[in-house]
């Protein structure tokens, strides 16, 4: 297992380097001069010269990239032009918010997607299967921003059950934090629960046709035991790996949802940075999101190897 992890890490390192080159190169293609924004309205020539020397902007682009990559490897992602704060500090403040939202959304997806996929496979070609597939197609087709706005109108404006926007830290008020995160977590969770349902259904259909399931039924075991202990347990191998990758997508894909519900997470931070041309923040967020997704991909590979005995024996 250690050799497998080391091989995956060796593959991840050049991948991260390629992503860092892409992020840095795209930033150089964007219009505008960040030094002019940093110098303020007066734009004193001495200040401009000092800033260009400080941030190595007079050097060739490969040298600038080397300085930026070395600083990033040490945790220095630059200074935000909008907030005049270190980008690493901003990410450290916003990341727990997005992680909380992603975990709650994943719980919603698991609660909805896995039982629905199991029932759809068990009741194949019945009205249960038909309704489950309609739900899956609806979850994949309905945009998150539309569903979020409809939930705000119904649940918050009409019924007054949950707050329409805002965020409360779980360390301040756990119950209020859950209330503010419930609707955005449901919006994100339903979108990925549809994908999770389809993967669960496909895995269960393959397992239910296997010999050991037929043997378990021939022994006279209760259908619930056959379905849960024998079929679902083996079908969860690909589902767990897909769930790990979906969590990585949640970390980087909550931009619209956080913007709609005014949640101060990664999504809102990157939107504000784009509108204010805060390139250092955009670079830092994209790089951290890519590294997190690669890390989740590595965890998915490890989980698949741990759950699948045939992979462990190879």
Q: How far is CA 41 from CA 35, 80, 81, 274, in A?
A: 11, 17, 14, 20
Residue 79 is assigned to a structural domain of this protein: no
Establish if 84 belongs to a structural domain.
no
- Domain of 179: which CATH number? 1.10.3720.10
Q: What is the reported pLDDT for 307?
A: 66
Is residue 86 included in any domain, yes or no?
Answer: no
Judgement on whether residues 99 and 44 belong to the same structural domain of the protein: no
Of the candidates 73, 108, 135, which is a domain's last residue? 73
The last residue of one of the domains, among 13, 43, 73, is 73
101 and 204 fall within a common domain: yes
Assess if residue 259 is contained within a domain.
yes
Q: Is residue 142 part of a domain?
A: yes
Are residue 118 and residue 230 in the same domain, yes or no? yes
Q: What is the pLDDT of residues 55-86, one digit of tens each?
A: 667 778 788 788 888 888 887 887 777 677 88
Provide the token pair at 61: 């682009």
The model's pLDDT over 111-147, given as tens digits with 9 standing for 90+, comes to 888 888 888 888 888 888 888 878 777 777 788 778 8
In this predicted structure, what is the pLDDT of residue 38?
A: 64
**Considering the domain boundaries, does residue 16 fall inside one?**
yes
> Residues 171, 279: one domain?
yes
The boundaries of the domain holding residue 38 are: 2-73
Distance CA(29)–CA(298), nearest Å, equals 31
Q: Are residues 138 and 55 in the same domain?
A: no
In terms of domains, do 195 and 121 share one?
Answer: yes
Give CA separation, 9 vs 284, 292, 298, in Å: 21, 13, 8
Same domain membership, residue 146 and residue 248: yes
Q: Are residues 254 and 265 in contact, defined by beta-carbon separation less than 8 angstroms?
A: yes
Decide if 87 is inside a domain.
Answer: no
Looking at the structure, tell me whether residues 160 and 202 fall in a common domain.
Answer: yes
CA distance 228 to 224: 6
Say whether both 124 and 269 belong to one domain.
yes
As a three-state string, the secondary structure of 291-303 is HHHHHHHHHHHHH
Sequence-distant (≥ 6) Cβ neighbours of residue 145 within 8 angstroms: 256, 257, 260
One domain, residues 204 and 58: no
Specify the pLDDT at position 22. 83
Number of domains in the chain: 2
What pLDDT shows up at residue 32? 64
Q: What is the pLDDT of residue 62?
A: 83
Q: Where do the DSSP E strands lie in 92-158?
A: none
Does the global pTM surpass 0.85? Answer: no
Crossing angle, helix 174-208 and helix 144-151, to 10 degrees? 130
* pLDDT tens per residue across span 45-56: 777 777 777 766
User: Alpha-carbon distance 35 to 39, whole Å?
Assistant: 6
User: Would you give per-residue pLDDT tens digits along the chain (314 residues)?
Assistant: 667 778 877 888 888 888 888 878 777 776 666 666 666 666 677 777 777 777 667 778 788 788 888 888 887 887 777 677 888 888 888 888 888 888 888 898 888 888 888 888 888 888 888 888 787 777 777 887 788 888 888 888 888 888 888 788 888 888 888 888 888 888 888 888 888 888 888 888 888 888 877 887 787 778 778 787 777 777 777 787 778 777 777 776 677 788 788 888 877 787 777 777 777 788 888 888 888 878 877 877 777 777 665 555 55
Supply the pLDDT for residue 43: 66
Are 114 and 256 found together in one domain? yes
The answer as to whether 89 is a domain residue is no
124 and 16 in one domain? no
Residue 67 CA to residue 21 CA, distance in Å, equals 12
198-228 CB burial, b ≥16 within 10 A, e <16: bbbbbbbbebbeeeebeebbeeeeeeeebbe
Are 100 and 168 a contacting pair, CB within 8 Å?
no
Those residues whose C-beta lies under 8 Å from the C-beta of residue 207, and which sit 6 or more positions away, are 213, 231, 232, 234, 235
Domain-terminating residue out of 23, 39, 73: 73
Separation of alpha carbons 195 and 250, rounded Å: 13
């Amino acid at each position: 297992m250690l050799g497998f992890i080391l091989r995956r890490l060796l593959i991840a390192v050049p991948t991260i380097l390629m992503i860092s080159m892409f992020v840095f190169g795209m930033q150089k293609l964007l219009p505008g001069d960040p030094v002019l924004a940093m110098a303020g309205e007066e734009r004193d020539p001495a200040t401009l010269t000092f800033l260009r020397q400080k941030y190595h902007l007079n050097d060739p682009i490969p040298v600038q990239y080397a300085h930026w990559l070395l600083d990033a490897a040490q945790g220095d992602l630059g200074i935000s032009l909008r907030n005049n704060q270190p980008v690493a500090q901003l990410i450290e403040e916003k990341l727990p918010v997005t992680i909380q939202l992603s975990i709650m959304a994943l719980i919603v997806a698991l609660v909805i997607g896995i039982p629905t996929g199991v029932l759809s496979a068990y009741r194949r070609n019945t009205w249960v299967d038909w309704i489950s597939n309609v739900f899956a197609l609806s979850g994949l087709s309905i945009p998150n921003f539309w569903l979020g706005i409809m939930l705000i109108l119904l649940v918050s404006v009409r019924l007054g059950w949950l707050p329409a926007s805002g965020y409360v830290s779980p360390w301040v008020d756990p119950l209020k934090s859950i209330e503010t995160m419930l609707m955005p977590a449901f919006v994100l969770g339903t979108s990925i629960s549809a994908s999770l349902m389809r993967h669960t259904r496909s895995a269960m259909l393959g397992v239910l046709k296997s010999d050991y399931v037929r043997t378990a039924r021939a022994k006279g075991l209760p259908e619930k035991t056959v379905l849960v202990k024998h079929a679902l347990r083996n079908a969860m191998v690909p589902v767990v790996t897909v769930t790990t990758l979906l969590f990585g997508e949640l970390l980087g894909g909550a931009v619209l949802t956080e913007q709609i519900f005014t949640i101060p997470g990664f999504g809102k931070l990157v939107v504000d940075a784009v509108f204010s041309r805060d390139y250092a923040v955009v670079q830092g967020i994209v790089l951290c999101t890519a590294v997190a997704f690669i890390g989740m991909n590595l965890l998915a590979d490890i989980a698949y190897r741990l759950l699948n005995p045939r992979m462990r024996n190879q």
